[in-house]
Amino acid sequence: MKAYHSYHDLLADPDVEAVIIATPDHWHEQMVLDAVAAGKAVYCEKGFTTSVDAAKRMRAAIKKNNTVFQLGHQGRQYPSTLAAGQLIRDGGIGPVTLVHTGRYFNGTKERAPWRWYGWYSVYDRPDPVQVVKDLDWEAWLGPAPRIDFNEAHFWHWRCYWAYGTGQAGDLLSHELDHVQSVLGWGIPDTCMCTGHNAFFRDGREVPDTWLANYTFEKQHCSLSFEGCMNSAREQPPEYIGKTGRLIFNGIGQDANRFFVYPDAPAFPHMGRELKPSSVYDPAKEDAWPTHMDDFLRCVRTGERPRCNEDEAFVEVVTLLMSVISYHEKRQVRWDAAAETIV
């Protein structure tokens, strides 16, 4: 395998047709723009970037150069999301009025979420002196504010606003993409978000608890997300309609089945036992391609991947609405005409 000291050298290699950008989020914009300018196909991990203006520049460059671009949301390929979307569009649970999502981690003080060291344990991680010898710290910082080498910032970059968007870019983005895959409604109209560090008061800047509430005004629907890092309970995506409820069996890669429940009495003692009226099981379907399969197929054919630059723009604007709402302690609104958060 060929190694490069600088990613610019990689982009200059004529034998390279496509690149994967899996750096901290603060590097995404410049690397995507440079890769697009070099004529490479691009697979970029979520979240897309860290500002709406950056997202506009990235989207424009991708379109101008007709670049094959895929954002790293693997759930886009699940037949369960496609089937759920079709069932909802066909009126299977009536108009959807509430979507409930969440991500939870059963963290410990010894292995707190985002306070980890790659595949190393707390006790056998590389010595910081050796890390400095092997690392180009200035290159790692890139467009971020200049600071001396900081082991916590390097290993635990998701804990700091200079390099990412906290739970919004890491966890909320997964659930937002699931909702977009199922409903396809685009960017919500409003968002109100609160957050705080309820469990890990360890110097991190970003909250370990994140509560975001969105509205889709035209559809008369609300979307909620709860992020918590001291509970092992899962909150599978749940779509509540006027005549039924659709709930998935898990989150992330486990969200491959769903159950449809009919409308039921408000209280269990008022009537019938609640049983699913239908169950979607992908085991009965043909094997489906992976997200990378979709990307590589499009590299070969020139088609657009499922999670292309337009879908990436929806993702990042929606998650940034929660970040701005949190920082400014107010409800924010998406101005679609001006493409700005107000």
Question: 148: helix, coil or strand?
Answer: coil
Q: What is the pLDDT of residue 208?
A: 92
Q: Which CATH number characterizes residue 326's domain?
A: 3.30.360.10
Provide the Cα torsion 237, 179, 22, 41; round to 10°. Answer: 140
Query: How many domains does the chain fold into?
Result: 1
pLDDT along the chain (342 residues), means of 10: 92 98 98 99 98 99 99 90 95 97 76 68 69 90 96 92 96 94 98 93 92 99 92 84 92 80 63 72 72 96 97 98 99 99 99
Distance CA 26, CA 46 (A): 11
Q: What is the pLDDT of residue 280?
A: 85
Q: What are phi and psi of 199, to 5 degrees?
A: -125, -45
Residue 333, domain member (yes or no): yes
Q: How many residues does the chain have?
A: 342
Q: What one-character-per-residue DSSP string does 154-184 give?
A: HHTGGGSTTT--HHIIIIIHHHHHHHHHHH-
Question: If we measure between CA atoms, which residue out of 138, 123, 101, 112 comes closest to residue 206?
Answer: 112
- In a 13 Å sphere around the CA of 297, the CA atoms on its Cβ side amount to 10
Question: If we measure between CA atoms, which residue out of 46, 317, 48, 307 comes closest to residue 191?
Answer: 317
Task: Look up residue 177 and give its two tokens.
Answer: 């993409």
Residue ranges making up the domain that contains 200: 78-111+163-288+309-339
The model's pTM:
0.92
Residue 275, domain member (yes or no): yes
Cα dihedral across residues 69, 75, 79, 80: positive or negative: negative
Residue 217, domain member (yes or no): yes
36 alpha carbon, distance to own chain's centre: 22
Distance CA 199, CA 107 (A): 9
Residue 8, domain member (yes or no): no
Q: What is the pLDDT of residue 114?
A: 77
Residue 83, domain member (yes or no): yes
Q: What one-character-per-residue DSSP string does 61-90 give?
A: HHHHTT--EEEE-GGGG-HHHHHHHHHHHT
Distance CA 338, CA 105 (A): 37
Question: 29: helix, coil or strand?
Answer: helix
Q: Count other Cβ atoms within 10 Å, centred on residue 80.
A: 22
Residue 226, domain member (yes or no): yes
- Strand-pair partners of 212: 193, 225
Residue 181, domain member (yes or no): yes
Q: What are phi and psi of 14, to 5 degrees?
A: -70, -15
| Pairing of β 41-45 and β 18-21 | parallel
Q: What is the pLDDT of residue 105?
A: 76
Query: By the 8 A CB rule, do 87 and 183 touch?
Result: no
Q: What is the pLDDT of residue 77?
A: 87
Residue 189, domain member (yes or no): yes
Q: What is the pLDDT of residue 123?
A: 56
